[in-house]
Structure 1
C-alpha cells in the first residue's frame, strides 16, 4: 500500500503524465517519419532557412552561421560529457553520492538510448544542400537535441532542488530548457537534421530526463525527505 501511495503523490502523477506525453509525441513523429508523411514538411522548413537563390548558404549573414556552430557544440558528446563528468565529481566530493549516481546513470543510459534509436531507424541525413557541421551518424532522432534534453534538463532539475526560492527554481529550469531548444534549432539551421529529427530528439530526451527525475522523487518520498 505504501508503494501505491508513493505513486499517487501529485508530483509523481505529474511526472508520469509528462513522460507519457513526451513518449506519445515521439511515437507519433516516428510513425509519420517511417511512413514518409513528414518529407514534404521537412524539406519546406529546411529550404525556408536557406538564402534566397543560393540553397548552399544558410539564411542571414555569415556571423549567424558562426553563432549556430558555437551553439550546436553545446550539444556535442564531448561538451556534454565534460559537463556531466564535472558535475558528477563535484557531487561525489560534496558527498551527494546518490545524486551523483542518478546524474551519471541517467545521462549515460540516455546516450545509449540515443545510439540505439539512431541504429533502429537509420534515417539518412538531409542531402538537399551541404551540411553546416561534421556528421557521422544516422539522422533520427537528433542526438544533439536528445542528449541536450537529457543532460540540461537533468542538471536543471538537480540544481532546482538545491535552490530555496521558487523564482530561482523557475529561472534554472528556464535556462535548461532554453539551452535544449537552441541546440536543437541550431541543428536545423545548419542543415544537418530534418526538423522532425529534432522534435523527436526533444521528446525522447525530455521523457528520459523526466523518467529519471521521477525515480529520484520516488526515492526521496520513500526515505521521507522533504524539499
Structure 2
C-alpha cells in the first residue's frame, strides 16, 4: 500500500490534474464574463458599482475619507509596470542565486508572456474605459481586461508559487500565497475605486491572471519532477 501511495504521489499526471483543472475552470469563467461584457449583460452592475464608489455621481468626490484616494493611488501603483518589473527582476535574481535556473527563466518568461497576452486581449475586446470624469488617476488604452489586475495576479501569484516551492514549511508557503493574493486583490479594487476600470474588467483580469499562474505552476512542477527523475 505504501508503495502504491508513493508512486501516486510522484505521478506527474495525478499531481498536475488539480491545477490544470482549476485553470480550465478559471478560463471558462473569463470567457463567460467576456461574453457577458460584449453582450451588455454586465453594463448595469458595472455602472452601479462605479457610481457607488463616488459620493455624488460622476462629478462627485470618491467615496470615503479624504485620505483614501491617496492610499488607493499608492496601492494601484503596486500593479504598475515599473513596480512589477522591479519585483520580477528581484525574484528572478533570487532564484538564480538559489541555483534555481529553470525556475528563474520560467518566472521571466511567465511575466513577459503574461504582459503580451494582456496587451493582446485588450486589442481583441477594445472596450472603452469609464468616462474621464470618473478618473482618479492617469490611465490610457483599452479597459478589458484590467492590465493592473491581470499582471499583478500573474506576477505576484507566479512568483509566490515559485518561491513557495523552496519554502521548507507549509505555513511559509501559505503565507507567500496569501500575501500575493492580498496584493493582487487590493490592486484590482483600487482600479475600480479610482474610476479607471469597470468591475468586470478587474474580475476578468483576476481570472486570466490566476489561470496563467496555475499553468506556470504546473510547468514548474513538471520541470522539478523531471529534474529529480534525471538524478
- Settle same-fold status: TM greater than 0.5: yes
**Would the aligned equivalents of 1:160 and 1:172 in 2 still touch at CA under 8 Å?**
yes
**Would the aligned equivalents of 1:188 and 1:195 in 2 still touch at CA under 8 Å?**
yes
Measured on the aligned residues, the alpha-carbon RMSD in Å equals 1.6
Give deviations 1:71-100, integer Å, cap 9, x for gaps: 000000111011111221232233321111
What 5-or-longer segments of structure 2 have no aligned partner?
Answer: 1-9
- Out of 13, 21, 29, the residue aligned to residue 8 of structure 1 is 13
| Superposition deviation, residue 7 in structure 1 | 4.7
- Structure 1 6/109 Cα, relative in aligned 2: closer, same or farther at 3 Å? farther
Who is 1:83 aligned against?
87
- Out of 185, 192, 195, the residue aligned to residue 189 of structure 2 is 185
**Would the aligned equivalents of 1:71 and 1:186 in 2 still touch at CA under 8 Å?**
yes
Q: In the alignment, is residue 160 of structure 1 matched against residue 144 of structure 2?
A: no
Give runs of aligned pairs for residues 127-166 of structure 1, distance below 5 A: 127=131, 129-166=133-170
- Structure 1 16/62 Cα, relative in aligned 2: closer, same or farther at 3 Å? same
TM-score (norm 1): 0.92
- Structure 1 143/164 Cα, relative in aligned 2: closer, same or farther at 3 Å? same
In structure 1, distance between residues paired with 2:170 and 2:12: 24
Q: In the alignment, is residue 32 of structure 1 matched against residue 19 of structure 2?
A: no
Q: State the number of aligned residues.
A: 220
- Out of 158, 170, 173, the residue aligned to residue 177 of structure 2 is 173
| Superposition deviation, residue 133 in structure 1 | 1.2
In structure 2, distance between residues paired with 1:97 and 1:174: 25
TM-score (norm 2): 0.91
Who is 1:43 aligned against?
47
In structure 2, distance between residues paired with 1:53 and 1:31: 28
What 5-or-longer segments of structure 1 have no aligned partner?
Answer: none
In structure 1, distance between residues paired with 2:126 and 2:63: 28
